[in-house]
Amino acid sequence: MVCITEAKEVFKAGYGAEATHLFTAAGRINVIGEHVDYCGGKVLPAALNLCCKIFARKNGEKVIRILLKGIDGVIELDLDKLDSYKDLKYGNYQAGVAYLLKEKGVGLVGCDLYYDCGVPFGSGLSSSAAIEVATAVALCELAGVSYDKKELALLSQKAENEYVGVNCGIMDQFASAMGKKEHAVLLDCATLEYEYVPLELGEYRIVVANCNKPHNLKESKYNVRRQEVETALKLIRQVKEVGCLAELTPKDFNEVKYLLSGAVAKRAEHVVMECDRVKQAVEALKTGDIVELGRLLNESHYSLRDLYEVTGKELDALSSFARKEPECLGSRMIGAGFGGCTISIVKKTAVDGFIRRVGKAYFDAIGYRASFYETSIEDGVTVTQL
């Protein structure tokens, strides 16, 4: 645990006292169900071993202090002015979570926090959700209040929507808070009902690759996509009573698609077909049909590329080089897109060669390197007394 010892030393050097607690919340992959969470669809994310760690102690003052690994300086959040940190470059996610907890009546206590985020930023592995959920857990634990992880996921999403200004869905925060070792979470984003599905891939593994083109949801077309699907829903509601786009089967959609045109039609078609693929993917996982799961991953990527238009040349290159590998069953971008990561299903024995060849082909085509991560699926949240 070299990194924990090191982090504790950084904490002590920064704050002049020992950390008393370590809180972690995970980044995530999403097996399938992309850009459907905000349309009431089902998603299938899983929490990763890459997580945001917060080393913490109470400071007896009315301030939350934040040190971030790799960033100089201490950020101070006054507990009485939590609504005034929206424009911070760093610390606004934490301030948003603290602000909403306080609004809910949680008696926050002052604390010193050191963030060591092992989820690469802007990678599509939900570093922001990991930071939000870990912060929410840390602040509740230090305040000595009981909490429900599902509620903290919702509060974290609200912080991102209303405080940070990214209109994200619930998938990332839910996976981070509720993830379970070796399982994916089949989450119905309309009702928040969920079920754990064992992520058993037999002789296959999921390889995560970062195309290293940074993305930022606030600056990307993410919010535009949300508006486009809302427009589609409004138009469809002229002729059909429907709560959300995800309620439509492909057959229902065929009957109403004459109402839509251009980009709006393509976006809605992606949502409906992706929801259908989630069903098929869960079936494939439950019956151990990994070949079929791989096919569905490929279909998902093509749809995100051609209909939802959120891939870009980097993610397309990375997933298409992966697909050319004989031991790879399927590959797709995950998360918001516009940069970030892919997942590929690769035979365990072929992983090293896969990484070497896909890495080289990507470098030759794009001009900079992709990163590959050795990942495992873990519990979303941990709390440790140091």
> Binding residue for ligand GLA (CB under 6 A) from 27, 118, 330, 335?
335
Cα–Cα distance, 347 to 345 (Å, whole number): 7
Is 172 one of the annotated active-site residues of the chain? yes
C-beta atoms surrounding 262 within 10 Å: 8
Crossing angle of helices 92-103 and 149-158, in 10° steps, is: 120
Range in contact with ligand GLA (rule: CB under 6 A) among 92-100, 167-175, 203-211, 357-365: 167-175
248 is a contact residue toward ligand GLA (CB under 6 A) = no
Strands 21-30 and 45-58: antiparallel
Range in contact with ligand GLA (rule: CB under 6 A) among 143-151, 164-172, 199-207, 315-323: 164-172
For ligand GLA, the closer of residues 102 and 221 by Cβ is 221
Q: Quick one: which of 82, 81, 97, 163 has its CA closest to 130?
A: 97
Query: How many residues lie near ligand GLA (CB under 6 A)?
Result: 11
CA–CA distances in Å: residue 324 to residues 156, 295, 346: 39, 13, 11
21 is a contact residue toward ligand GLA (CB under 6 A) = no
Range in contact with ligand GLA (rule: CB under 6 A) among 165-173, 198-206, 237-245, 344-352: 165-173
Cα–Cα distance, 141 to 164 (Å, whole number): 23
37 is a contact residue toward ligand GLA (CB under 6 A) = yes
225 is a contact residue toward ligand GLA (CB under 6 A) = no
Cα 201 from chain centroid (whole Å): 21
305 is a contact residue toward ligand GLA (CB under 6 A) = no
CA–CA distances in Å: residue 328 to residues 98, 303, 325, 339: 43, 19, 5, 21
Cα–Cα distance, 280 to 284 (Å, whole number): 6
Nearest approach in angstroms of CB 293 to ligand GLA is 18
For ligand GLA, the closer of residues 271 and 370 by Cβ is 271
Nearest approach in angstroms of CB 173 to ligand GLA is 8
Query: Buried b / exposed e across 84-102, counting CB within 10 Å, b at 16+?
Result: ebeebeebbbbbbbbbbbb
- 125-154 footprint of ligand GLA as x/- string (CB under 6 A): -x----------------------------
Judge contact between 114 and 7, C-beta under 8 A.
yes
For ligand GLA, the closer of residues 99 and 222 by Cβ is 222
> Binding residue for ligand GLA (CB under 6 A) from 22, 168, 245, 341?
168
Nearest approach in angstroms of CB 58 to ligand GLA is 31
> Binding residue for ligand GLA (CB under 6 A) from 19, 26, 35, 319?
35
The secondary structure of residue 377, as a DSSP letter, is B
40 is a contact residue toward ligand GLA (CB under 6 A) = no
Amino acid at 187: L
C-beta atoms surrounding 2 within 10 Å: 6
41 is a contact residue toward ligand GLA (CB under 6 A) = no
Query: Buried b / exposed e across 219-236, counting CB within 10 Å, b at 16+?
Result: ebbbeebbebbeebbebb
Which pair of tokens denotes residue 239? 């002729």
Cα angle for residues 46, 335, 151 (degrees, 5° grid): 55
CA–CA distances in Å: residue 233 to residues 136, 184, 237, 258: 33, 29, 6, 13
For ligand GLA, the closer of residues 126 and 135 by Cβ is 126
* Residue entry with tokens 């004459």: 258
The secondary structure of residue 120, as a DSSP letter, is P
Active-site pick, 172, 316, 352, 364: 172
42 is a contact residue toward ligand GLA (CB under 6 A) = no
Nearest approach in angstroms of CB 311 to ligand GLA is 12
For ligand GLA, the closer of residues 142 and 381 by Cβ is 381
For ligand GLA, the closer of residues 92 and 106 by Cβ is 92
Range in contact with ligand GLA (rule: CB under 6 A) among 163-171, 191-199, 275-283, 372-380: 163-171
Q: Which residues have a catalytic role annotated?
A: 172
- Interacting residue ranges for ligand GLA, rule: CB under 6 A: 34-35, 37-38, 126, 168-169, 171-172, 335-336
